[in-house]
Copies of this chain bind each other. A is one copy, B any other.
């Protein structure tokens, strides 16, 4: 039960914003057709938005045989978003506008320490005031499990355990806040930046210093799991005596750029095959600093020993940090659009 008549105004406003940002610019007729909202209504909304400075007129279209239509575009500077990701070594943040352009980028000492929340609060406060309070959303990425803005489980940082970061900051700053796990943000970011279609399933796979993990997006939704354990792929049994995590290590600790041995390839190929037999995803993404084209090829060959190759997903590599950041921006953008 999501649609109530009362929320119509909001729905229309959101969808106008969304379309305008998606299309870059649009005429009233285009919006009316696309959104299935009558011309006069679109006209009324756009008039108000132009008055508020939220959209700007960008001239007239070429005539298609009759009167030329006015074209409108979103004013990207009208609202800004703040994306922060917390890591054990440092805290990164960016300020971005509605079209995804990064306006400002910065670093700060890590806040994943005792009393770190106050540090984080101070940081955000400073950022907001130095930006004329134009910040209209905050997206925070954390290396842990998140349930609706509450940090559920963040191994190593028990002081954040069970803390409702979203609720705390929404109350404190009166700005919409979203908190998301790093992998989930990355998978979301990849989906949007690479123009994957809705409802296609994605898997983001990393090996990492602290063991492997994966983020899933199935039918367009992030998969968290009933106990927030989804993606802990090191536990997947793969050989008579070894699971995926153990197979990767195989005695020696895995360093960066050392996915090269055949037993690594086979373990990963088996995991890929497992993903296909269960989820049959459209694409699997590896972190580009852990992967190269050649190994990707070997994995493709290796996987097809286990499953019919016509069902193999695309295998690709991508810049994890960038996807992560973009995912956070995306989440913040959604908040702004629906505000």
Residues of chain A at the chain B interface (Cβ within 8 Å) = 1-6, 8, 11-12, 15, 18, 34-37, 41, 200-201, 214, 216, 218-219, 221, 223-240, 243, 270, 273-282, 306-307, 310-311, 313
**Interface contact B226-A280, CB-CB below 8 Å:** yes
Alpha-carbon distance A239/B311, docked complex (angstroms): 22
- Pairs across A and B, CB under 8 Å, 16 listed: A1-B34, A5-B37, A200-B226, A201-B226, A223-B280, A224-B280, A226-B282, A228-B280, A229-B276, A230-B279, A231-B278, A233-B277, A235-B276, A235-B307, A237-B274, A243-B306
Residues of B within 8 A of A230 (CB): 278-280
Looking across the interface, which residue of chain B has its beta carbon closest to that of A12?
B5
CB distance from A86 to the nearest CB of B (A): 24
B226 touches A278 (CB 8 A): no
CB contacts (< 8 Å) of A232 on chain B: these are 277, 280
Q: Decide: A236 and B274 in contact? CB cutoff 8 A.
A: yes
| Cα-based distance from A37 to B1 in the complex (angstroms) | 11
Q: Which of A225, A232, A278 has the most CB of B within 10 A?
A: A278
Contact between B236 and A239, CB atoms less than 8 A apart: no
A34 to B273, CA, bound (A): 46
Q: In the complex, are the beta carbons of A313 and B37 less than 8 A apart? A: no
Assembly CA distance A216 to B227 (angstroms): 17
What chain B residues lie within 8 Å of A5 (beta carbons)?
A: 8, 12, 36-37, 41
Q: How far is the CA of A235 from the CA of B309 in the complex (A)?
A: 12
Give Cα A8 to B225, complex, Å: 34
Beyond A6-B36, A233-B277, A237-B274, 19 additional contacts (C-beta under 8 Å) are A3-B3, A3-B8, A218-B219, A219-B219, A219-B223, A223-B279, A225-B279, A227-B280, A227-B311, A230-B279, A232-B277, A232-B280, A234-B277, A235-B277, A235-B306, A235-B307, A237-B238, A274-B278, A278-B278
Chain B nearest CB from A223 CB (Å) reads 6
Contacts of A236 in B (CB 8 A): 273-274, 277-278
Choose from B214, B306, B310 the contact partner of A237 (Cβ within 8 Å). Answer: B306
CB distance from A56 to the nearest CB of B (A): 23
A34 to B275: give the CA distance in the assembly, Å: 41
